[in-house]
Amino acid sequence: MLIGGLGLGFTLRAALDALSADARVTVAELNPVVVRWCRGPLAILTADSLADPRVSVVERDVTKVIRDIAEAPDAPRFDAVIWDLYRGPGCGLPALENHLYGVGSVQRTHRALNAGGVFAVWGEKRHAPFEARLEKQHFRIERTHSSVKGPKHAIYIAVKP
């Protein structure tokens, strides 16, 4: 599994709680300060998730990690890629070629997944152009919302056939 974005570590903690003892999770976090916080004063919030032997941290842009996997023919692929980033697909970045949610990024993520692999993305709201890019790569898409009341954050679960 690849998790893009560490934040406070809650997504990582939830993944570890759901995964088997032999699972492997790579966390790509761009900001080394966030990693230090999660290893230090914030570790208590996630039962010290970064100390879990199943976890490896890469201080790097998640899109570059995915690009390297997608472009290496013999590289192992992921069963799941989760983007827990502070900006979702409808965040106002230039649409088609933005490095996070553009056509190229969706294509590379598709190539970095095993068959049956899941690409999960959080967004501020539904973003039909992003859904169209997922569909063009033949992902099977399920979109849900994070709450009934209040903001309707979109959660995308896209499965590679």
**Domain match, 36 and 80 both:** no
More confident residue, 23 or 125: 23
**Domain match, 16 and 40 both:** yes
pLDDT tens digits for range 23-75? 999 999 999 999 999 999 999 999 999 999 999 999 999 999 999 999 998 99
d(CA 153, CA 70): 29
Q: What is the pTM of this model?
A: 0.91
Query: Which of 12, 28, 60 marks a domain boundary?
Result: 60
pLDDT tens digits for range 88-117? 887 766 555 678 888 999 999 999 999 999
**Domain match, 79 and 146 both:** yes
Number of domains in the chain: 2
**Domain match, 78 and 153 both:** yes
pLDDT band at 144 (very low <50, low <70, confident <90, very high): confident
Query: Which of 60, 81, 101 marks a domain boundary?
Result: 60
The sign of the torsion formed by the CA atoms of 83, 71, 96, 158 equals negative
Three-state SS for 118? Answer: strand
pLDDT band at 150 (very low <50, low <70, confident <90, very high): low
What are φ and ψ of residue 8, in 5° steps? -85, 0
Q: According to the model, what pLDDT value does residue 158 have?
A: 97
**Domain match, 36 and 76 both:** no
Residue 29 backbone class (left: φ over 0; alpha: ψ -120 to 50; beta: rest): beta
**Domain match, 111 and 150 both:** yes
Look up the domain containing 150 and give its range: 62-161
Query: Which of 60, 81, 107 marks a domain boundary?
Result: 60
CA distances, 57 to each of 2, 5, 61, 108 (Å): 10, 10, 12, 21
How many Å from the N-terminal Cα to the C-terminal Cα in the chain? 17
**Domain match, 36 and 48 both:** yes
